[in-house]
Amino acid sequence: MKLYHTLLLILFSHFSFSQQKENFEVDVINTFIKHFEQFSNEELTFYNKQIAFEKQNEFFTQSNFTNYTSPTLGVDSKKVKRLIKKVDFNYLQSIKNDLNYWNNSVFKNVIFSSEITLNKKELFQISKPFFSKSNKYAFVYYVKDCGYPDCNSTSVIIFKRCSKGTWKFYTQMPITIS
């Protein structure tokens, strides 16, 4: 009987953790949307399929984060220095995100596009959030296409979970601009 209760507890814990992570993902992406809405006069357009963070293993290293601790445009280097001490880089490198389509119904003020077209309109392609081992930080890799050929930027935007359970913009780390 004890074994049965232990198995039930393990199953419930796993389900509860999976549900919590799914809620965190939705909350983080909605915070991402709010962050970029303040810089746009139009609704944001997202590509409806999640993208892979192809250079995940190169990005999530202590040496890469150290590169952002000297003054870098748009980066709060003090916060990056704190992150170096707080995150487990091996854990972040090991995360495997399945690529799926976004559940459009849980996001507000976003237009979802099924194709990437050059229509002189900004289009975001975003990954599922990568959560730190403690679930205090979320990293979202994104590509922002400006609508013209060879005009895009890639970055990782970082959010921190507050004591109230909400997510707030922490800093960003640009990767490329073209």
Give the residues across from 158 on adjacent strands: 139, 171
Separation CA 91–CA 80 (nearest Å): 17
* Domain spans, the chain: 2-177
For residue 3, pLDDT beyond 80: no
pLDDT at 120: 56
Give the residues across from 112 on adjacent strands: 46
Mean pLDDT, residues 14-36: 71
In this structure, of 2-6, 57-61, 170-174, the range with the lowest mean pLDDT score is 2-6
Mean pLDDT, residues 126-133: 92
pLDDT band at residue 122, thresholds of 50, 70 and 90? confident
For residue 52, pLDDT beyond 50: yes
Residue type, 23: N
Q: How does 112-137 read in b/e, with b if 16+ C-beta sit within 10 Å?
A: ebeeeeeeeebbbbbbbbbbbeeeeb
Separation CA 60–CA 129 (nearest Å): 13
| H/E stretch holding 2 | helix 2-37
Give the residues across from 37 on adjacent strands: none
- CB–CB of 138/161 below 8 Å? yes
